[in-house]
Amino acid sequence: MKTKFLLLFSIALLSFSGASFAQAPDDCAISLSYFTEPAKIKNYEAALPYYEKLIKECPDYNLAIYQYGVKMFEYFVEEKGDKSKVTDLIQAYRLRLQNFPEKTKEGDVLSTIAQIKYDYNIGSKAEQFNAFDEAFTKHPEDFTSGKSLYTYFSLAVELYNNGEKSLQEIFNLYDVVINKIDTEKNNLASKFTILMNKEEAGNALTDKEKRAKDVYENNLGVYATVESSVNGTLGQLADCENLVPFYEKDFEEKKNDVEWLKSASNRLDSKDCETPLSNKLAVRLHELEPSSTSAYLLGKQAESEGKASKALEYFNQAADLETDNSKKYRIYYSIAENFRKKGSYGTARNYYNKMLEVKPSAGIAYYKIGAMYADSANNCGNTVFEKRAMYWLAADMMDRAARVDGTVAGNAKAAAASYRGRAPQPSDIFSEGMAGKTIKFNCWVGGSVKVPNL
């Protein structure tokens, strides 16, 4: 009987102990708390042992492990100067991707790791380039860092200088990178223009819209700097004295290769290389594949020969055939310039505006329109005051050019300041009694301008 009682007691005790164990706090939750609480106040030395425990025992427990883990190792590397933690930083990104793929953009992770490897000189230049190349090739939509785009291209040029890449590979990558920069600039400029138009129409922006506008404008400036840096890095490699012999030597071998002809023609055109090869390329391309590209290039050739009407005919063919906006804006620019040089400002403006429809970041279009407004000042108004008022419109166009396109910002800002200096000054507004009045323009410019209040 005693034995039976002891047995029943033991079973009951075991059952009670089992119930107690099942209700005990979760070990992963405890470790996460011990890690995140000091990490929140940047006491990373205290947090580190629990991070190491978490990635070994609870790697997929909570995304916060890697969110705080990245911050922790960035602190050790950047603020404490402990370069030994760079590999831990890279590992934290990889573990996040591995354990939380649905909450992590692989492209962001790959490009970030590639930049870390470059910044801290991990691996050879070829290995660093390959890390960027993997990120861009797999997820180009996520590869949006201006710094990384520049690093990616500059590494390729270094490899070319070391004899590890061909010049054609550099040109091919340049086209890819510049097109990516253009895409990002156009996306930003489209959003920025909507807010700029709303503001200029006299409608107040919300606080959220103001913040967004500032971000768009700042990032447009960043991409303009990156674009200039990429072009600077390409440098003499793409000068006419290098390009012309480079393409001439391959012409006979490649003259039936349509893609090669397009690439060679476009590159010579973009550098304004004056060479008989340009005409040979354009004619051959038009023979093999009459297209927007071949028509455009023939138009440029006719233009260089002073045949403006023939050039315009080819340009219009090119515009009708082209479906790629990144190429179409260039055609519209050539047409607009053709009309501008002939003094047909109204038609030229129509084509500059068509440019902006397909490439909102094309600040040069606003710049050219502003310059035409200024050139028309003496023909747009009945009084000296009205004629000088045209400079306000011209300055506004220059402001737009500077805000959407950092590559023309310097010249545009200088022009805007000059035009405002020619516009009516406060003393003129006072003496003419024009404060707050609206001046309408009946010339080709059209529209109106409101005179500032004093």
At 2, list the tokens.
């005693």
- Residue 16: pLDDT over 50: no
Instruction: Evaluate whether residue 330 is within a structural domain.
Output: no
User: Model confidence over 93-129: pLDDT tens digits?
Assistant: 999 999 999 999 999 999 999 999 999 999 999 999 9
Q: Is 237 exposed, middle or buried (0-12, 13-18, 19+ CB in 10 A)?
A: middle
Task: Supply the pLDDT for residue 205.
Answer: 93
Instruction: Evaluate whether residue 304 is within a structural domain.
Output: no
Task: Supply the pLDDT for residue 4.
Answer: 43
Instruction: Evaluate whether residue 213 is within a structural domain.
Output: yes
- Residue 25: pLDDT over 80: no
Task: Supply the pLDDT for residue 269.
Answer: 84
Least confident of 198-202, 355-359, 417-421: 198-202
Q: Which residue is it, tokens 């006719």?
A: 302
Instruction: Evaluate whether residue 47 is within a structural domain.
Output: no
User: Model confidence over 377-406: pLDDT tens digits?
Assistant: 999 989 999 999 999 999 999 999 999 999
Task: Supply the pLDDT for residue 136.
Answer: 96
- Provide mean pLDDT across the span 76-85: 94
The gap between the terminal CA atoms of the chain, to the nearest Å, is: 110
C-alpha–C-alpha distance, residues 334 and 447, integer Å = 26
- Provide mean pLDDT across the span 24-36: 84
Is pTM beyond 0.85 here?
Answer: no
Boundary residue ending a domain (236, 253, 268)? 236
Beta bridge partners of 10: none
Instruction: Evaluate whether residue 190 is within a structural domain.
Output: yes
Instruction: Evaluate whether residue 209 is within a structural domain.
Output: yes
Nearest-10 crossing angle of helices 258-270, 167-200: 60
Task: Supply the pLDDT for residue 293.
Answer: 85
Q: How confident is the model at residue 5 (pLDDT cuts 50, 70, 90)?
A: very low
Task: Supply the pLDDT for residue 23.
Answer: 30
C-alpha–C-alpha distance, residues 226 and 301, integer Å = 31
Instruction: Evaluate whether residue 246 is within a structural domain.
Output: no
User: Model confidence over 252-262: pLDDT tens digits?
Assistant: 999 999 999 98
Q: What is the extent of the structural domain holding 400?
A: 360-454
345 against 381, higher pLDDT: 345
Q: Is 356 exposed, middle or buried (0-12, 13-18, 19+ CB in 10 A)?
A: buried
C-alpha–C-alpha distance, residues 125 and 105, integer Å = 25
- Residue 33: pLDDT over 90: yes
Tally of domains in the chain = 2
**449, containing H or E segment:** strand 448-450
- What is the average pLDDT score of the chain? 90
Mapped onto helix, strand or coil, the DSSP state of residue 440 is strand
Instruction: Evaluate whether residue 99 is within a structural domain.
Output: no
Least confident of 57-71, 305-319, 373-387: 305-319
- Provide mean pLDDT across the span 277-281: 90
User: Model confidence over 288-311: pLDDT tens digits?
Assistant: 988 888 898 889 888 888 898 899
Cβ pair 330, 351 in contact under 8 A = no
Task: Supply the pLDDT for residue 7.
Answer: 42
Q: How confident is the model at residue 200 (pLDDT cuts 50, 70, 90)?
A: confident
- Residue 364: pLDDT over 90: yes
Boundary residue ending a domain (207, 236, 265)? 236
Boundary residue ending a domain (169, 201, 236)? 236
C-alpha–C-alpha distance, residues 448 and 81, integer Å = 60
